[in-house]
Amino acid sequence: MTEFATLTIAAAAKLIRNRDISPIEYTQALLDRVSAHDAKINAFIRIMPEEALAEARTAEAEIAAGNWRGPLHGVPYALKDIVDVDGVPTTCHSKIMADNVATADAEVTRRLKAAGGVLIGKTSTHEFAIGGPSFDLPWPPARNPWNPDHFTGGSSSGSGAALAAGFVPAAIGTDTGGSVRNPASFCGIVGMKATYGRVSRRGVFPLSFSLDHVGPMTRGVEDNAIMMNAIAGHDAADPGSAPVESLDFTSLLGRDIQGMRIGVIRHFYNRDHVADPEMGQGIERAIDVLRGLGAEISEIELSPLREYAAANRVILLSEAFAIHEKWFKERPQDYGELARKRIIGGAFIRAADYVNATRTKTRLVAELADKMRDIDVAVTASSMDPPNRLDDPDGLEANYGRQARAPFNLTGVPAIAVPTGLSNSGLPLSMQIVGKPFDEARVYQVAHAYEQATGFGAQIPNLD
Amino acid sequence: MSNQDNLDPQAMARAFGLDRLAENFPEDIEHSATFSKSLADGLPSDLTPAEEPAHVFRCTQPDTAE
């Protein structure tokens, strides 16, 4: 009997294409699993069983007629609830947007529909992708399937939780300061933030125009590349979209990494921040694995993480406040406390500081390009700590900035978070692999080689 | 130190038209103003006049514009 909860996209695609499983039974099995377990995980804001089953029926009929569209055809997925679906509410997990019904598909939605995917629901997030985890919003925060007392990471919290819980094999998140890679790290899954401009942002509620990325979240690297194949591509209607040709992001999977030059950005996690020992040891063990696979390991030194983080945050908050200013004048009480506290920071950033943050961005983009000239990819931490308990607001706040993801939003280069195992208390550990602009295929190659060597990421926790 | 360093965040919020925010959430304003100041202090202090912003506008010729 097929275990649908752990099925990868790649495996499901073969089974569906050969008509060994039906998209309808696959979708129904996952909807049943959501029904049985999501009350304690809160991954979904909206479950769409009727629509999903209708899409599954269409997929089944098309495949039966010989019109197989590709590996996502008939495969269930979920969207973070800041991504528009025509005729469906996009709430941004906020009272402010509770009645907002989208009037068109986001470009990423359009592409996933065109690939034949089956949308089973919209996932929880931090309010407006910044304020969370919060208990003062219309919906509760997602809980970590590895231990529901713990944080999922955010802001693509529900997408990360839905994958770890085996509710879906694929989900979409967004990432402005690390919001795909943080839940990937905390939920023990794979999350990719591609090069800025690689995936269209059109139809996705903005947090920060200069830093927002849309990215795939999956349980494995191959699946992530398959998703990227479906969603990447130039969109002339997105001013940030890069006019570059999309590639086959699976093209380098399975190739060895003998001689690959990997630079470790160690000071991000042993000097600028000092990572939790288990997290740090997990990264060092991963570096040993990569060395064992034939990679040439060196160390690279960048500007202090604080400069990258400050520039990212100044730009993010300034742009976010510009988007939210009207609502803060009219209905500040309708925000949750965390979103309010974080976004209004943008009101107090001087114009000169915003400009200087973008000048810092120019400097740091050049620095990273220079330091990566003689390497193929870089490795560093994603989160500095395993996931905090949800009932520890002081710990959550203290760890909010303890991450090394924001530098790659600021510089726009591709970065993937991959699992490096579990802590002694059974919580996920992770690292990041970072590439050069538009070199996602190589990032996937290294991540896949590591995954194949270790087997991390293949398990899901027991929800019973 | 900028002039902004000497201003009361509540007064600034009111000057920005955020009266409801200032009235109902004064602690949030204090917290956010302090946090934003710390972020700005984290930016490098040695930027030279030649270092330009990331999004300087670039004109395109009509026949090459998208």
3-state secondary structure of A112: helix
Token readout for A457 is 């990421």
Mean pLDDT estimate for chain A: 97
How far is the alpha carbon of A214 from chain B, nearest alpha carbon, in Å? 20
Q: Which candidate, B43, B50, B38, B54, places its Cα nearest to that of A304?
A: B43
Question: pLDDT at position B6, please?
Answer: 62
Give the residue from chain A lying closest to B38, CA to CA: A310
Q: Residues of A with catalytic annotation?
A: 80, 155, 179
Residues in A closer than 8 angstroms to B24, CB to CB, are 332-333
**Chain-chain contact of A313 with B39 (C-beta, under 8 angstroms):** yes
Residues in A closer than 8 angstroms to B42, CB to CB, are 306-307, 309-310
Residues in B closer than 8 angstroms to A333, CB to CB, are 20, 24
**Chain-chain contact of B39 with A243 (C-beta, under 8 angstroms):** no
Q: Does domain A4-305+358-454 correspond to CATH entry 3.90.1300.10? A: yes
pLDDT in tens, chain A (464 residues): 569 999 999 999 999 999 999 999 999 999 999 999 999 999 999 999 999 999 999 999 999 999 999 999 999 999 999 999 999 999 999 999 999 999 999 999 999 999 999 999 999 999 999 999 999 999 999 999 999 999 999 999 999 999 999 999 999 999 999 999 999 999 999 999 999 999 999 999 999 999 999 999 999 999 999 999 999 999 999 999 999 988 899 999 999 999 999 999 999 999 999 999 999 999 999 999 999 999 999 999 999 999 999 999 999 999 999 999 999 999 999 999 999 999 999 999 999 999 999 999 999 999 999 999 999 999 999 999 999 999 999 999 988 899 999 999 999 999 999 999 999 999 999 999 999 999 999 999 999 999 999 998 778 999 98
User: What is the per-residue pLDDT across A419-432, written as a single tens digit (0 to 9) for each?
Assistant: 999 999 999 999 99
**Chain-chain contact of A347 with B16 (C-beta, under 8 angstroms):** yes
Residues in B closer than 8 angstroms to A328, CB to CB, are 18, 21
Find the CB nearest A355 among B2, B13, B53: B53
Task: Give the whole-angstrom CA distance, residue A340 versus residue A409.
Answer: 22
**Chain-chain contact of B21 with A313 (C-beta, under 8 angstroms):** no
Give the residue from chain B lying closest to A210, CA to CA: B55
CA A296, A260, A176, B4 torsion-angle sign: positive
How far is the alpha carbon of B54 from chain A, nearest alpha carbon, in Å? 5
User: What is the per-residue pLDDT across A112-138, written as a single tens digit (0 to 9) for each?
Assistant: 999 999 999 999 999 999 999 999 999
Q: Which candidate, A37, A45, A446, places its Cα nearest to that of A262?
A: A446
Task: Give the whole-angstrom CA distance, residue A382 versus residue A215.
Answer: 16
Tell me which residues of chain B have a C-beta less than 8 Å from any C-beta of chain A: 2, 4, 9, 12-13, 16-21, 24-25, 28-29, 31-33, 35-37, 39-44, 47, 51-55, 66
**Chain-chain contact of A362 with B51 (C-beta, under 8 angstroms):** yes
H or E element that contains A327: helix A305-330
How far is the alpha carbon of B63 from chain A, nearest alpha carbon, in Å? 16
- Give which of A238, A273, A344, A413 to mutate to test B binding, by max B Cβ within 10 Å: A344
**Chain-chain contact of A362 with B29 (C-beta, under 8 angstroms):** no
Long-range contact pairs involving B51-60 (C-beta distance under 8 Å, separation at least 24):
B51/A359, B51/A362, B51/A363, B52/A359, B52/A362, B53/A355, B53/A358, B53/A359, B53/A361, B53/A362, B54/A210, B54/A358, B54/A359, B54/A361, B54/A362, B54/A365, B55/A210, B55/A358
Residues in B closer than 8 angstroms to A241, CB to CB, are none
- With beta carbons less than 8 A apart as the criterion, state whether A218 and A181 touch: no
Residue type, A461: P
- The torsion of the CA quartet A192, A149, A48, A197, rounded to 10 degrees, works out to -20
**Chain-chain contact of A307 with B42 (C-beta, under 8 angstroms):** yes
Task: Give the whole-angstrom CA distance, residue A231 versus residue A235.
Answer: 11
Residue with tokens 């087997």: A455
Residues of chain A with pLDDT > 70, as a percent, come to 100
**Chain-chain contact of A345 with B42 (C-beta, under 8 angstroms):** no
Residues in A closer than 8 angstroms to B37, CB to CB, are 348
- Give which of A326, A342, A359 to mutate to test B binding, by max B Cβ within 10 Å: A359
Token readout for A422 is 């579990």
How far is the alpha carbon of A326 from chain B, nearest alpha carbon, in Å? 9
3-state secondary structure of B46: coil
Sheet holding A296-299, edge to edge: A44-47, A118-123, A76-80, A170-175, A213-218, A190-193, A415-422, A428-434, A377-380, A261-264, A296-299
Token readout for A331 is 């209905």
ipTM for this model? 0.89
- The torsion of the CA quartet A4, A7, A10, A11, rounded to 10 degrees, works out to -70
Domain boundaries, chain A: 4-305+358-454
DSSP state of A215: E
DSSP-assigned states of every residue in A374-389: T-SEEEE-SBSSPPPB
User: What is the per-residue pLDDT across A404-459, written as a single tens digit (0 to 9) for each?
Assistant: 999 999 999 999 999 999 999 999 999 999 999 999 999 999 999 999 999 987 78
DSSP state of A2: -
**Chain-chain contact of B21 with A344 (C-beta, under 8 angstroms):** yes
Give the residue from chain A lying closest to B51, CA to CA: A359
Find the CB nearest A329 among B20, B33, B41: B20
- What are the C-alpha distances in Å from A24 to residues A17, A47, A71, A198, B58? 13, 16, 16, 32, 50
Task: Give the whole-angstrom CA distance, residue B65 versus residue B62.
Answer: 5
Residues in B closer than 8 angstroms to A350, CB to CB, are 2, 4, 40
**Chain-chain contact of A210 with B35 (C-beta, under 8 angstroms):** no
Q: Which candidate, A47, A33, A206, places its Cα nearest to that of A122?
A: A47
Question: pLDDT at position B1, please?
Answer: 41
